[in-house]
Amino acid sequence: MKPDDLVGASPGATFTITFDGRRLDALPGQSIAAVLWSAGILAWRTTRVGGRPRGAFCGIGQCYDCLATVNGRPNRRACLITARPGDTVTTQEGNGHAGFDD
């Protein structure tokens, strides 16, 4: 039995977002972090120093480990942003501002 069977949930139709060019299925209401986790993607950011991989840690928007570039906007907390049809998510490297004028 699946969790949605237990609660009688009836999620809406899936839609597609992309992550680093890879098409991923998403459900209405899922956060971007949840979509990435569902696809087996655990890291979508690298640290400024050392380039270490990071993904969701706290899941409530307090730790900033889950930062991603969403629709061209860097430093978006993937655990707090609800995925929308057609969203483009890319791995964020460093401080998220490479190539931007400060």
Structure confidence at residue 70 (pLDDT): 96
| pLDDT tens figures, 45-73 | 888 888 888 888 887 878 888 899 999 99
The candidate with the shortest Cα–Cα distance to 44, out of 76, 10, 15, 13, is 76
Structure confidence at residue 89 (pLDDT): 97
Q: Binning pLDDT at 50, 70 and 90, where does residue 95 land? A: low
Cα–Cα distance, 35 to 16 (Å, whole number): 10
Structure confidence at residue 64 (pLDDT): 83
Q: What is the average pLDDT value for the chain, to the nearest integer?
A: 86
- The reported pTM is 0.80
**Residue 76 above 50 pLDDT?**
yes
Q: Tell whether domain 12-90 is in CATH 3.10.20.440.
A: yes
> Looking at the chain, how many residues does it have?
102
